[in-house]
Amino acid sequence: MRLSPVLLASGALLAHAATTSLDGISALVQRQIPQHADSFTFSLIDGDGDSFEISDASGGGISVQCTTVSACARGLYTYVTQYGGVDIWWTGSRLSQLSSTLPKVGTPVNGTAIVPYRYHFNTVTFDYTAAFWDWDQWEAELDWLALRGVNLPLAWVGYEYTLTEVLQEVGLTDEDISSFLSGSAFQAWNRFGNIQGSWGGPLPTQWIDDQYALQQQIVARMYELGMTPVLPAFTGFVPRALAQVYPNASIVNGSQWSGFPDDLTDVSFLEPWDSLFTTMQTSFINKQQAAFGSNVTHIYTLDQYNENDPYSGDTGYLASISNSTFTALRAADPEAVWMMQGWLFFSDESFWTDDRVSAYLGGVSGNDSMIVLDLYSEAQPQWERTNSYYGKQWVWCELHDYGGNMGMEGNLPVLVANPISALAASPNMKGIGLTMEGQEGNEIVYDILLDQAWSSTSINITSYVEAWVARRYTVSSLPAAAQTAWSIFSTTVYSNSDSNTQATIKSILELEPSTSGLTDRTGHHPTEIPYDTNTTIVPALQNLVEAASENAALLDVPEFIYDVVDTTRQLLANRFIDAYNALVSAYSAGGPASAIAAAGQPLLTILSDLDTLLWANDNFLLPTWISAARSLAGSNTTYASYLEYNARNQITLWGPDGEINDYASKQWAGLVGTYYYQRWETFVGYLANITASGEAYDSDALSSQMLAIGETWDAETWNSETDVTGDAMSIVAGLMQKYI
């Protein structure tokens, strides 16, 4: 579909002055394809929306004509993937493998984005995935995004710097502020007003300063790559002390979140009709504009009620809140557009009745003044029941993943069909994007959606997957077995239409052990496996291994090794369920204790085998996460230990006392071998002991024991292996013998 000029001319639709300089694209080529630095010629031409045309340049090389810088990057991507046969992945860029003689395009090819916004990130991705990223990782991520045509990324890094200045300005002390800010791995929920304060030590000033410096690089690069960064604004969430400094200010308590104790939640909220709110908003936006430029963006992320109940459910109250919030935002930036995550309309659907949604969104005048992210469109879309957000702009988003959990899962048929039908049904749908909580694994389900944003008809999954596999495994004469493996994946694991098991499936080995409640969970955080492992994971793995035996060049392809390890990981995780069920049966049968210990052994063997497997690939290592955190501290070991605690606590207890225990669990080498292993070993020992002594099963006592293990583990320092150990393919061969 070509966007009509009328639509694009309608004022603030894009609400930014994206760069028209092509320097960022030239620099991208320099970084990613240095040997072809002079082979690509980009030129901006007039035209509507985001379009490109790639053709053979008269003097050799490739010409990319484009209407926006973002479209230039997408044009380059189309060339390198469709003609050059290479791509950039989460596991690393392979663009430098583009052949020295560039393949010809032949008949020029056009591409057009079907929506003005291609969006990326969830507020929580900044913690689950990017908490400890350095500039190198950001740079790789931004190139990945630019090439895929993303033009509207969220940019939350370093928020606390500007916020702190504003809070100081209104009279709060450093102590007041420090008691409000949350830890380095938990900032998203402080920004959402879910939590306040920290555990494991206050947020160091150095963190605040360094993150702010990082954000300067991030925002500048986003702009240079033709993107409009979505920047933060003042939300209204404030330290409790503000109420003492301003006894007459309209401050209400937020709500309790996820079992956190009072001092860490119930965040104070300054109601936006208070003149102090406007003062703080204006100051915040002014400072941010001074730092990043006043025209870099006019789109602001601002969430007030994400898993946070409004003080009142009265529709008049809700309309006043949004109206005053936007009034203050526009006072600070007359071109401001308010972007919000729409998760609340699903997660708290019983509160957010149609009347309340209508009141809250309707409080803001003008359809272009807001952008609502329909956060979980692939499984729980809310745009239909909310009458397309009553006319506000909205974005069709794929959530897919909770907490960076790693189970293989996806639903390709929905990703290619539903955005297209939604666009036809809802003219105010203005974007397509990714709002994954954690950006880990299952890369194909993210790729296909960002590609769908450039195709007005539904992508053909079969041919898409074939082309995707061919460029993922960049070898000449790719064995058919590799395609067979992915044909199995794409039609089973990645065609999951079971509404009980959507988003990433969690493996029970990552959960706190118990005799009940682990298996067959459905809904939010399912553990039920919606496919038969023996006819899906098993033959897919066999085909991958077969492909490697036919063409050993595959062994040098990092993405291939990643996929083999990931598939084997899933095999073992699924086999663990059978072993667990056998243990519970042995315990229910009443023992003897020796039989329980024996039934427990296979679980421990799987965990230790899984740990060995994961050690063989650098994408699956706990020490990578920990050393990324520690390295941000330079030589300051006190600071490094603080960061390590934050890194460990997020993926285990998530809170000082396991408040959302195991939410962000991972199957990482080191975590499986030390933490999960220890918990399951203790559990098996406990079941054997109570069977021998005749004591009753005491789930509270068991939980206390598990919490103690978590607290100890979180406080430790990683002193062992940090590097890849073992040969993945031979380890996989051994595990296939054992588990197939």
Ligand X SMILES: *[C@@H]1O[C@H](CO)[C@@H](O)[C@H](O)[C@H]1NC(C)=O
Q: Which residues contact ligand X (rule: CB under 6 A)?
A: 17, 45, 47, 51-53, 65, 67, 110, 204, 206, 247-248, 252-253, 262, 266, 294-295, 323, 326-327, 330, 364-365, 367, 391, 428, 460, 462-463, 534, 636, 638-639, 642, 682, 685-686, 689, 740
Nearer Cβ to ligand X (110/456): 110
Nearer Cβ to ligand X (369/380): 369
Nearer Cβ to ligand X (434/613): 613
User: Cα(510)–Cα(13) distance, rounded to whole angstroms?
Assistant: 44
User: Cα(628)–Cα(504) distance, rounded to whole angstroms?
Assistant: 25
In the complex, what is the shortest distance from the CB of residue 388 to ligand X, in angstroms, rounded to a whole number?
6
In the complex, what is the shortest distance from the CB of residue 372 to ligand X, in angstroms, rounded to a whole number?
13
DSSP category for residue 110: E
Contact 78, 471 (CB under 8 A): no
Contact 67, 46 (CB under 8 A): yes
Nearer Cβ to ligand X (504/574): 574
Nearer Cβ to ligand X (139/368): 368
Nearer Cβ to ligand X (124/370): 370
Of 258, 128, 243, the closest CA to residue 195 belongs to: 258
Return the number of other C-beta atoms located less than 10 Å from residue 351's C-beta: 14
User: Cα(530)–Cα(496) distance, rounded to whole angstroms?
Assistant: 7
Nearer Cβ to ligand X (608/689): 689
Tokens coding 254: 């937020």
In the complex, what is the shortest distance from the CB of residue 160 to ligand X, in angstroms, rounded to a whole number?
14
In the complex, what is the shortest distance from the CB of residue 88 to ligand X, in angstroms, rounded to a whole number?
23
Strands 429-434 and 152-153: unpaired
Distances (CA, A) of 18 to 12, 49, 228: 13, 12, 6
In the complex, what is the shortest distance from the CB of residue 440 to ligand X, in angstroms, rounded to a whole number?
27
Side chain identity, residue 329: L
CA quadruple 531, 532, 533, 536: dihedral positive or negative? negative
In the complex, what is the shortest distance from the CB of residue 173 to ligand X, in angstroms, rounded to a whole number?
18
Distances (CA, A) of 316 to 313, 438, 640: 9, 36, 49
In the complex, what is the shortest distance from the CB of residue 73 to ligand X, in angstroms, rounded to a whole number?
14
Of 420, 451, 421, the closest CA to residue 434 belongs to: 451
Nearer Cβ to ligand X (179/682): 682
Residues 6+ positions from 191 with CB-CB distance below 8 Å: 123, 156, 159, 232, 235, 237, 303
Residue length of the chain? 740
DSSP category for residue 227: -
In the complex, what is the shortest distance from the CB of residue 642 to ligand X, in angstroms, rounded to a whole number?
6
* Helix (H) or strand (E) segment spanning residue 581: helix 558-588
Nearer Cβ to ligand X (544/621): 544
Nearer Cβ to ligand X (299/561): 299
Q: Which long-range contacts (CB under 8 A, 24 or more apart) does 629-634 make?
A: 629/131, 629/132, 629/184, 629/185, 631/134, 632/132, 632/134, 632/207, 632/210, 633/206
Nearer Cβ to ligand X (122/323): 323
Closest CB to ligand X: residue number: 391
User: Cα(302)–Cα(304) distance, rounded to whole angstroms?
Assistant: 7
Nearer Cβ to ligand X (620/639): 639
Nearer Cβ to ligand X (97/286): 286
In the complex, what is the shortest distance from the CB of residue 270 to ligand X, in angstroms, rounded to a whole number?
12
In the complex, what is the shortest distance from the CB of residue 110 to ligand X, in angstroms, rounded to a whole number?
4
| Helix spans in 373-532 (H) | 387-390, 412-425, 443-452, 461-472, 480-491
In the complex, what is the shortest distance from the CB of residue 119 to ligand X, in angstroms, rounded to a whole number?
20
- State CA 119 to chain mean position distance: 12
In the complex, what is the shortest distance from the CB of residue 12 to ligand X, in angstroms, rounded to a whole number?
11
Tokens coding 731: 């380890």
Residues 6+ positions from 534 with CB-CB distance below 8 Å: none
DSSP states along 620-676? SBHHHHHHHHHHTTTT-HHHHHHHHHHHHHHHTTSSTT-TTTTTT----BTIIIIII
Starting at the earlier edge strand, list the strands of the sheet with 109-112: 40-44, 62-66, 51-56, 109-112
3-state SS string for 123-176: CCHHHHCCCCCCHHHHHHHHHHHHHCCCCEEECCCCHHHHHHHHHHHCCCCHHH
Nearer Cβ to ligand X (145/633): 633
In the complex, what is the shortest distance from the CB of residue 136 to ligand X, in angstroms, rounded to a whole number?
23
In the complex, what is the shortest distance from the CB of residue 161 to ligand X, in angstroms, rounded to a whole number?
16
Contact 337, 300 (CB under 8 A): yes
* Helix (H) or strand (E) segment spanning residue 300: strand 299-301
Nearer Cβ to ligand X (252/552): 252
Residues 6+ positions from 517 with CB-CB distance below 8 Å: none
In the complex, what is the shortest distance from the CB of residue 682 to ligand X, in angstroms, rounded to a whole number?
5
